[in-house]
Amino acid sequence: MWARFAIAGVMILLLSGAATATVALTKLNHIASEVFPRGSQLHVAKGVVEAAYSGEPQTFLIIGSDRRAASKDAFDRNNPPHSDTLLLVHLDPEAGQISVLSVPRDLLATITTRSGQTYYPRKVNAAYTIGSLEGGTDRGAELAAETIERLLHVKLNGVIDVTFKGFIDVVDTLGCVYVNVDHRYYNVPNGSVETNYSEINLQPGYQKLCYENALSYVRYRHTDSDFVRVARQQDFIRDLREQVPVGNLIGEIDTVSKAVGKAVTSTFHSSASQLIELGKLALFSQQKPLRQVKFQADNVNAMIGGESYVTSSPTLIKATVKDFLHGHEQLKIPSSASSHSHHGAQRASNASLDLYPVSASGKAMALTAAPGVPFPLEYPSVQTGPAIPQEVHVYTLEDQHKHVHHAYVAVWQQNGLGGYYDVEGVDWVNIPLFSRARAQKIGGRSYLLVDDGSHIHDIGWRVGRVIYWVSNTLLEDLSNPQMIAIAQATRPLH
């Protein structure tokens, strides 16, 4: 049976809507009937969702669920569904970015049903299951939305319920996704407690993920935390958005709309006007950075009644929501930032950033790998203090036109909870990762920056027909000055 899902599908839905902007009006109603087929609309009580005027800020709740109403297996059909992701997306046409906030599924909450029955203590993701048992998946989505609204004091303009299998089907329809896999993911269940989770076998590095590999990657959470998994999913959505220009959907609009219709149920109605409105939001979102808003918690492992909960306070929740709805951080990088020429000053500067010379073992791995790369293997001379070099992996990958490229990735483990950062290189200069990156000269060198509003996620530079870059950890544990310093210290091996 499908494991619980943990990825949101709002970008797929919006991108499908955006494609309608250039489709003849006479066809819009037909497309709407496929994107929102009969029986796919979520019916929620009046007041749970409020309509917004065109051009106003809108907030959507995206539920990643494992509902299986059409399953051929009786147990799957009758077993109550679960929500594994509760993601809030805020789109404000007047803002410079899109805000994404994941509500921890283990967040302590009080859940009150329509009949007045109260459940406490409960994890917030239990609302979907409790509601489903009370009145089917519509009621599950409705109770999840009501619980989120009461807990966070936010007003929702739409609710979208996405099955993870359906979402991955849509991803495949769009041609899969190039993703930067941050480290080695490997598990083959052999009957032991340690391996009692889904099979996964992914090498590190920038690569194309389709169906099962994409599914395994976004659902993985067994050697890190729920917060890391959420960040991985948000990174996946960012990569997906960068690789699906709206224009590419036009020729396949019928195929895409049918796939979306099978994957999604929502509070949206089946009409041309609804698609046009979603199209406007999508066109806006394509041009804006995706800002990951961190949920502020005071304890991520509070034991209550023998169970572990994430707890927060009214003050922290208020600060989180304020940042989500009104935060507008901008990345500010001084163009004068550069390395000092004097070695003593350079060492002092690096030490102040918690950067120190790379380990001998890490450099030895890079020297061993270098002959397998048909271009200069660049490697940093500094690393963060806590980092432990993991490996230097040499591999090949195909671009969208089936041309084979050579690549390498050097991996460091920054911490024990999914904190891996990478230095990479590939002889494919126009990789999708940097398709919308902004160029900035820092210390006399031109860089490409991928950010989420205030934090550098990737920093790259081109040398001839090769592009090199540094990727932050999924939770962006490395500061902007650290990312820049590592990039500046990355040079060909001698």
CATH at residue 117: 3.30.420.590
Most confident of 127-131, 209-213, 256-260: 127-131
Q: If pLDDT is split at 50, 70 and 90, which confidence band does 314 have?
A: very high
Query: Average pLDDT in the 138-149 region?
Result: 94
Neighbours of 340 (CB within 10 A): 12
Most confident of 272-281, 315-324, 348-357, 437-446: 315-324
Asked whether residue 270 falls in the same domain as residue 379, the answer is: no
Residue 239: inside a domain: no
Asked whether residue 123 falls in the same domain as residue 252, the answer is: yes
| Domain housing 411 | 343-492
Asked whether residue 84 falls in the same domain as residue 163, the answer is: yes
Asked whether residue 163 falls in the same domain as residue 48, the answer is: yes
Query: Average pLDDT in the 117-128 region?
Result: 95
pLDDT at 427 exceeding the cut of 90:
yes
**Domain edge (last residue) among 278, 296, 326:** 326
Residue 338: inside a domain: no
pLDDT at 337 exceeding the cut of 50:
yes
Residue 187: inside a domain: no
User: What's residue 432's pLDDT?
Assistant: 92
Query: Average pLDDT in the 317-332 region?
Result: 86
Asked whether residue 281 falls in the same domain as residue 367, the answer is: no
For the chain, the domain total comes to 2
pLDDT at 182 exceeding the cut of 90:
yes
Q: What is the Cα–Cα distance from 443 to 57, expressed in whole angstroms? A: 39
pLDDT at 469 exceeding the cut of 90:
yes
Residue 226: inside a domain: no
Bond prior to 121 in cis (omega within 30° of 0)? yes
Higher pLDDT pick, 250 / 208: 208
Q: If pLDDT is split at 50, 70 and 90, which confidence band does 8 have?
A: very low
Average pLDDT, the chain: 82
Asked whether residue 383 falls in the same domain as residue 487, the answer is: yes
CA neighbor of 324 nearest in space, from 80, 7, 88: 88
Residue 224: inside a domain: no
DSSP sequence for 136-153: HHHHHHHHHHHHHHHHH-
**Domain edge (last residue) among 300, 326, 352:** 326
User: What's residue 152's pLDDT?
Assistant: 96
Q: If pLDDT is split at 50, 70 and 90, which confidence band does 413 have?
A: very high
Q: Specify whether the CB–CB gap between 264 and 166 falls below 8 A.
A: yes
User: What's residue 3's pLDDT?
Assistant: 30
Asked whether residue 278 falls in the same domain as residue 145, the answer is: yes
Residue 445: inside a domain: yes
Asked whether residue 358 falls in the same domain as residue 481, the answer is: yes
Asked whether residue 301 falls in the same domain as residue 366, the answer is: no
What is the share, in percent, of the chain residues with pLDDT greater than 70?
77
**Domain edge (last residue) among 326, 359, 390:** 326
Q: What is the Cα–Cα distance from 112 to 130, expressed in whole angstroms? A: 9
Asked whether residue 303 falls in the same domain as residue 385, the answer is: no
Q: If pLDDT is split at 50, 70 and 90, which confidence band does 82 have?
A: confident
Q: If pLDDT is split at 50, 70 and 90, which confidence band does 83 have?
A: confident
Residue 200: inside a domain: no
pLDDT at 164 exceeding the cut of 70:
no
Query: Average pLDDT in the 252-281 region?
Result: 69
Asked whether residue 37 falls in the same domain as residue 156, the answer is: yes
For 103-119, give one letter per residue: b (16+ CB within 10 A) or e: bbbbbbbebbbeeeeee
Burial tier of 255 (Cβ tally within 10 Å: 0-12, 13-18, 19+):
middle
Query: Average pLDDT in the 192-200 region?
Result: 82
Asked whether residue 391 falls in the same domain as residue 462, the answer is: yes
Q: If pLDDT is split at 50, 70 and 90, which confidence band does 460 have?
A: very high
Higher pLDDT pick, 294 / 408: 408
